[in-house]
Structure 1
Amino acid sequence: MTIGVPAATTANENDLKLTIVNPRNLYDPTPNGYSTAVIMPREARVAYISGQGGQDGTGALSPDFAVQVEQAYANLHAALDALGARPDQVAKLTILVVDHDMSKLEVLTRNVKKMFGEALPAQTLIPVPRLAVDGMLFEVEAMAVLD
């Protein structure tokens, strides 16, 4: 993993690790819990993980946004475990937030940093009016490189 590298950096083809690219001439996104770009190795197998919401093992949803976010990341971690993957193998997240506002950003940042540490994936946050299930406030989907 490389942080703060020039834009021309490329991944070592024999290395199955992701290369994180945060060009020095762009805004540093790491305090907000994401990276500008992530290079996947040429020979990598990619897993696409469907959106994980905040449902617990019984399918129940808390009405609390922070609880749903924490549960969704636990669900994502369980999906990674089932694939034999680790959080540092996640290259990209897509985040969907119902009625997003800046108060929710702190919750999102805290949870992504808790799960990914310094290996922050590329990330896109999309505010939406609603999600697939009534009461669902958050969803996270992922792309991961498998060893």
Structure 2
Amino acid sequence: ERQLASFQRAIEQGADGVAILDDEEYVYVDDTHVEMYGFDNKDQLIGSTWHTLYDDSEISRLEAEALPAVESDGYWRGQVTGQRPDGTTFPTEISLTLIDDGRIVCTARDETEQRRQQRELKLFQQAIEQAADGVAVLK
């Protein structure tokens, strides 16, 4: 019991959200998953379908791409756009893993900060290239 409690605390404190789905309904969500998707508590997600977290086009894409891969390969990882109850969206990387009892474990990582850093790096690289072009013209 102590090991199980320690394991659960580790999941709850992780940077990635973790959820378990039985069929299409959440049977477990950790605090990170709840907060990332903009809910106030776990009870708002437990028993609801994963469709709650995505718009119609993303749901269609996941049903066409991710779920068949999970069924055939036991695993899928990809980029999705999550949607919070207030309508805001955010870039997310999720992985779906089929476990031996038929349920799916979902881990989700909010990539908002990573994408912001990538944009800043790209702008910095462009500025360096422009400065180098200006120096080359002066020669």
TM-score using structure 1 length: 0.28
Larger radius of gyration: 2
- Higher percent of residues as helix: 2
Higher relative contact order (CA 8 A, sep 6+): 1
TM-score using structure 2 length: 0.29
